[in-house]
A = this chain, B = another copy of it.
């Protein structure tokens, strides 16, 4: 069973969803919520802290908390897994491995995956689609210790994340995403069925396990007419950062 503060956070999220608390309205005071749920004020604070981090509600000392938005953010799992994301939207995810090969780790690979240079790492080029329409080109490099499990996956499997979890118990826990825009190259254009030089949204990411061990890094290119990304930030929670090109 989940922790009490998570249950309360969920109940509040649902209450906001069903507009019991409308956008702009004020949430009950901590002490009221504590009494209502029969818990201490600290537990309520943990619950509302979660909603604050998600950007659902705003908080200022002295004033009642305000509902800022509703229907926020998918789970991390949905962000990580293309297939789970598609499923949550009622769309069908497809996937197809175009090329796959082992290469010795470059200096860049070894830095990102925390491996010794020269260790063989698995490069995979995968096309992903929604309802048959290709929308994403994934160029992924897997660390040597997970590569065998990746290799054994069917070339047309829709969900790699799912299969890796089933076969090895691997759970992705952290991710760093660097986002920019690039023009589609010849290969990009061909595989995504778009014109060359079309703008693509590029997401370069490194994913690690719960222990902080890097699993993979990837260069993902999205058709910008099909997919966009959304980030919610506040003074207390700024996951987003602007960077200059090196």
A240 to chain B, nearest CB (A): 5
Chain B residues in 8 Å Cβ range of A208: 58, 68
Q: How many residues of A are counted as interface, with CB atoms below 8 angstroms from the partner's CB atoms?
A: 68
Cβ of A36 within 8 Å of any chain B Cβ, yes or no, is: no
CB-CB nearest in chain B for A226: B245
For A200, what are the chain B residues with a Cβ–Cβ distance below 8 Å? 181, 199
Interface members, chain A 183-204 (any B CB < 8 Å):
183, 197-202
Any B CB within 8 A of the CB of A119:
no
Q: Do B240 and A177 touch across chains, with their CB atoms under 8 A apart?
A: yes
Q: Taking the complex as formed, is A241 at the interface, i.e. its CB lies under 8 A from any CB of chain B?
A: yes
Beyond A55-B174, A229-B241, 8 extra complex contacts between A and B, CB < 8 Å: A53-B237, A55-B239, A74-B241, A79-B240, A174-B232, A177-B230, A181-B202, A225-B245
12 interchain pairs, CB-CB under 8 A: A54-B239, A58-B210, A78-B242, A173-B234, A175-B232, A177-B231, A177-B232, A178-B230, A179-B201, A182-B199, A225-B245, A227-B244
